[in-house]
Structure 1
Amino acid sequence: MTILILGAGQLARMMSLAGAPLNLNVVAYDVGSKKIVHPLTGEVYSTTLEDAIAHADAITAEFEHIPDDVLTLCCNSNKFYPGKAAIKTGGDRQIEKALLDKTKVACAPYQLITEKAHLELAVEKLGKPLVIKTCQAGYDGKGQWRLKSDEQIDTIWAEMADFIAAGTEHAPHTIIAEKMIPFDREVSIIGARDKHGNVAIYPLTENEHTNGVLTLSVAGLDNSRVEQQAIDAFTKLANALDYVGVLAVEFFDVQGTLLVNEIAPRVHNSGHWTQQGCHCSQFENHLRAVAGLPLGNSELKHVTAMINVLGQANIPTEVLATTDVTSHWYGKSVKPGRKMGHINVSADNLAQLGARLAELSKLLPEADYPGLLTMSQSLNN
């Protein structure tokens, strides 16, 4: 069976690795070069996109920002999962907010902005400070502003106006202003849904971000107070989209109440820990779902932390001497802040995990791996 993935980055790479034991042949469409490639070896095939679609048994995506003509072509084949509506929702915050409103899944109060009067209305209605985000083309903290005082309105609006003006009639640009919510922590739920509506949901994960980029995720904490809220939100959203594949939902935890921050219609960075922490990883379960195979076991096997490697060409080899540490590399050229790979650390219990993170913190500098030492200390308390 052949699976075509739109996008040829690290997520396609890890799906290819997960698919091999299932006898799934995974090929990828590089949106930038418009070539069909092998997502692991980088081999470029002479096949056209049209031919790849014809020969694929199923088609999926590793990211949301897919050109509309490519997305439409794939959807017309009736082989594309999770479907056009899901991809559009994940790639446009305006559509995402509409889905949250429709399904009555809670999020921060917001105001849609297409002109300066809307920004002024947001300040009046929501108060300050505001988190302002582009509805399209924003990821990993890009395309965002923080408005803390009225004096910033003119300056921020000038930058926002440039983004809005860059939109077109067929692809308009819009912006969302959200009330800044003081939250206790960030968490995410990841689950897979198959073509028959069956689901396999992974344990709630606690996430640490630095400058808008995920740096650390931990699975296995006691989240019993809020986990059902996350499962309910996932279920409502997945059912509304008639979703097939892995869906990630990120939340703010506000004193025990979860508010959705973002939806990602794909395998997700905060689920990379499932490679070592679960019986069946998010990558394998995504392929199982789109290929029509039974979903795998998503229960926790080991408490696990995932550490992102950002902008580093390598890690100290001594890291691999720590028990139950596994490294995953993406085969990318080095750029500052770029996601180069990740490290998964597993343990039998949280105290043991804390000890292993403390051991790693002596090898991985805080400047490059923020929050590692703090998390290790919290797990040992």
Structure 2
Amino acid sequence: MEFAWPPEALRFASEVSDFLDQELPDWWSITSNTLTAGQRHFEFCRGFAEKLANRGYLMPNWPREYGGREVSSWELYKLSEVFHTRGEPRGQHYMSANWVGPAIMRYGTAEQKSFFLPQMASGLIQFCQGFSEPGAGSDLAAIRTRATRDGDQYAINGQKIWTSYAATADYCVLLARTDPASQRRDGISMLLVPTNLPGITIRPIPNLLGIEGGEHGFCEIFFDDVRIDISARLGAENGGWAAAMDALAFERVGQPRFARALRLLDLTAEQCAQRGELEDPIVAEKLGLAIAACQAARVLNYRVVDSRARAEPPGPEGNVARMASVQADQLAADMVFALSPDALDDDSMADEAMRSAMPAGHAAGSIEVNLNIIAERLLGLPRAS
């Protein structure tokens, strides 16, 4: 087995890294994660996306006809690693690159493709993901938001929760039940809903991270008789479950959290060395365990990328990679916090590492959901009651 990166992936990563060296401002830092950043960070990412788009770095995996560079799955993942070690200057556009755009290419009409894809590839519009609901987060198939057919329109009523980026998104990729008599996975459709329609209310959710909604914080979205044309539906009516599963499969490996965690551990090790603490076997062991966890997550994620490169259907291996990434990210944050003398200071590296790692176990399916899927599909255990 060849463990080295393909030469084209290394060349592409070096090219992008050089570009970031030249273009990122002095105040930008890996510790200024988009998850906990403020208005300045959000505005920068939105503007910087156009620069990335002009170089073909924003949606590089897309076909050239849609504004991409047709890079391989390996090149795309290497690019994601570069971005994550640099604080992810794409902002929320990574969602468009990884799964919203590919979903539109696969399930969209010609009109949807011509309208959305050029704007996305240019960095002009952004999306949020309207999947989870109160009582239907861990059990997504239990969604109750309705999109009731009324001639050539749907009337949407319901609520979504824990929606990242909702406060700044132009569109919500919404899962709603279009067959009122259906249950579970049947009767669900996916809709591309403008967030500025009458009847939509977006409210920030205060949280322990100290982010009250803001530019990336969690929000809840209320739909009160929101009217939208049936042309906003992505794919067949009542056929949204397959598109949702495709989206989640890509989302689980879309963010290489281990890459950022490894960079933070490297910086922490450098600081420990400067203080003469690396000679302490306990300190060395703590760092070594965290680094090993990150490397294990890297290998498991690469396994999924390899499967994607072979055009194999997504499977539970993505859940395993997701679990490993979350655990590595949280262990690394614990180590950075434990070994940093300024850990309790606001905006310190340890503070930012902890703020980033805390919600990692909820995005793209909670830890419990991923464990259940692994237990059922890989280990053959009975479904948890």
Determine if the TM-score, normalized by the shorter chain, exceeds 0.5: no
TM-score (norm 2): 0.28
Q: Which has the higher strand share?
A: 1
TM-score (norm 1): 0.28
